[in-house]
Amino acid sequence: MKVLVPVKRVIDFNVAVRVKADRSGVELANVKMAINPFDEIAVEEAVRLKERGAASEVVAVSIGPAGAQETLRTALAMGADRGILVKHDGPIEPLAVAKILKAIALEEQPRLIILGKQAIDDDCNQVGQMLAALLNWPQGTFAAKLELRDGETAVTREVDGGLQTVALTLPAIVTTDLRLNQPRYASLPNIMKARKKPIAEKSVADYDVDPTPRLKVIEVREPEKRRAGARVANAAELVERLRERGVI
């Protein structure tokens, strides 16, 4: 069984994000980039399936600039077998990403696609659901546990009322939540081996997808700084303060 794992290049979660002076976006120059944490969980889960003998090949896919090749190398060092880089400079929206992934899925014919539930740069949480709709495949989102059975996969997901388990007939889409697993650190030997693993380079035009954004970013601003709190002696004083501010 082949498993396809899309991975995204994002600003490292340890880096403090800075807004550009012209407020057109966030500063990416000389900023440390890394694999999206939720996608890292997806890679780990796919590699574990391979180690258990449930998967025969893990293919990592990334859509982005030439620097995204390093993101793919991270996935390869974790245990993925090969990579596909769809080169694209500039912003690309979830629907365009889903359309490209659909074309790759039809080409590669995986039985399972595992991807992070969202990327930490835009927090859209849309690609997995859109991809499932485009392929007309069943989906299990926010997976906290994944089990493969004969011809199907059982996905346990966290919902407001507790845990919900859904059975998906393969091929299927699964999006990962934080509690699914703890990704491994890539060892130095595996990092060296990853440099020899193949990465096929493609372009958006190869998949006949228009990447032109449909949304226009007007302005990006940092959130307002939290105001300092104040202590009150008793409930009566609290009520009085709230009345002064017009809250009650």
* CATH code assigned at 56: 3.40.50.620
State how far the Cα of 119 lies from the Cα of 114, in Å rounded to an integer: 14
State how far the Cα of 130 lies from the Cα of 134, in Å rounded to an integer: 6
Cβ neighbours, 10 Å, residue 240: 12
The structure tokens listed for 23 are 């407020």
Mean per-residue pLDDT, 110-125: 93
State the total domains in the chain: 1
pLDDT at 116: 94
**Amino acid identity of 83?**
G
Residue ranges making up the domain that contains 98:
2-244
* pTM score: 0.86
Tens of pLDDT, residue by residue over 27-76, are: 888 889 999 999 999 999 999 999 999 999 999 999 999 999 999 999 99
State how far the Cα of 75 lies from the Cα of 84, in Å rounded to an integer: 11
